[in-house]
Amino acid sequence: MDYELNKSQIPAHIAIIMDGNGRWAMQRGLPRTAGHVEGVANVRYITELCTNLGVKFLTLYTFSTENWNRPQDEVMAIMDLLVDNMDLDLFMRNNVRFRMIGGIDRLSPAVQACVRELEEKTKNNSRMTAVIALNYSSRWELTQTMKEAVREAAEGRLLPDEVTEEYISSHLQTKFMPDPDLLIRTGGELRISNYLLWQCAYSEFYFCDTYWPDFHEEDLHRAIATYQQRQRRFGLTEAQVENTNTTEN
């Protein structure tokens, strides 16, 4: 089915929880890592689709701080896949800037080098920013921000009244991007698993059963079409929002 998308209402920032790689593989009698291989192929595909649609930020939950507790061979396989597939050519061809959020220090030297090189070489690309959340979790990120605030306060550089929402947003890993407009989770689970908790305060959520390796163009269009049918109220009433839209148009 083809979904009519309103080109003037493409979400500026789409965040995705790419779930279901393992189950995709098990269903086919394959090892879980085969699902991650397919998952990576789909990362490339969805990145290009989003770029062409005019999405400005795409944030992919790639590896959480909790994922270190998975079987070590799976962890190693994901890290190797990252090194092998962080594809400079893909980003340059599509004029996409690459960024990582999360704790870089715990990653292997090879992964760190890859991330740093890609960030540096793509820093002037401007069509879209593709962000991978790697060794990331929201509680970790908020804890880091609180530590920083306490440090600044202890040094006399921060007063209680200066701890505002803007202060917090500007100290998060995501300080260089707007909050997500649309959060998509594939794979059938209805939770956000420690992902962008602060940033998703007013995001629209879209959950689907499709496993990540099978999440293709039609699924993406369905998610965006669903988003476009929602009325974002940001705490206002329906009448207030309609009034604002009438005044603006």
CA distance 49 to 45: 6
CA distance 42 to 189: 19
> CA distances (Å), 82 to each of 15, 49, 79, 188, in order?
19, 20, 5, 24
Q: How many residues bind ligand FPP (CB under 6 A)?
A: 20
Q: Which residue is nearest to ligand FPP (CB)?
A: 22
Among 3, 5, 12, 23, binds ligand FPP (CB under 6 A): 23
Active site residue 67: yes
Among 14, 34, 43, 107, binds ligand FPP (CB under 6 A): 43
Stretch that binds ligand FPP, among 60-68, 120-128, 136-144, 223-231 (CB under 6 A): 60-68
How many helices, marked H, and strands, marked E, lie in the chain? Answer: 9, 6
Smallest gap from residue 169 Cβ to ligand FPP (A): 25
Among 59, 62, 94, 174, binds ligand FPP (CB under 6 A): 62
Stretch that binds ligand FPP, among 21-29, 145-153, 170-178, 225-233 (CB under 6 A): 21-29
Give me the 185-224 binding string for ligand FPP, x by CB under 6 A, dash otherwise.
Answer: --x-------------------------------------
52, HSE (Cβ side, Cα atoms, 13 Å): 11
Strand order in the sheet with 182-185: 96-101, 128-136, 57-64, 13-17, 182-185, 204-207
- CB atoms under 10 Å from CB of 135, counted, come to 20
The answer to whether residue 85 forms part of the interface with ligand FPP (CB under 6 A) is: yes
- H or E element that contains 212: none
List 2, 19, 52, 214, catalytic entry: 19
CA distance 81 to 162: 43
Give the contacts of 102 (CB within 8 A, at least 6 positions apart): 63, 65, 133, 134, 135, 136, 173
The answer to whether residue 79 forms part of the interface with ligand FPP (CB under 6 A) is: no
The answer to whether residue 137 forms part of the interface with ligand FPP (CB under 6 A) is: no
Stretch that binds ligand FPP, among 14-22, 135-143, 145-153, 166-174 (CB under 6 A): 14-22
Contact set with ligand FPP (CB under 6 A)? 18-23, 36, 39-40, 43, 60, 62, 67, 78, 81-82, 85-86, 132, 187
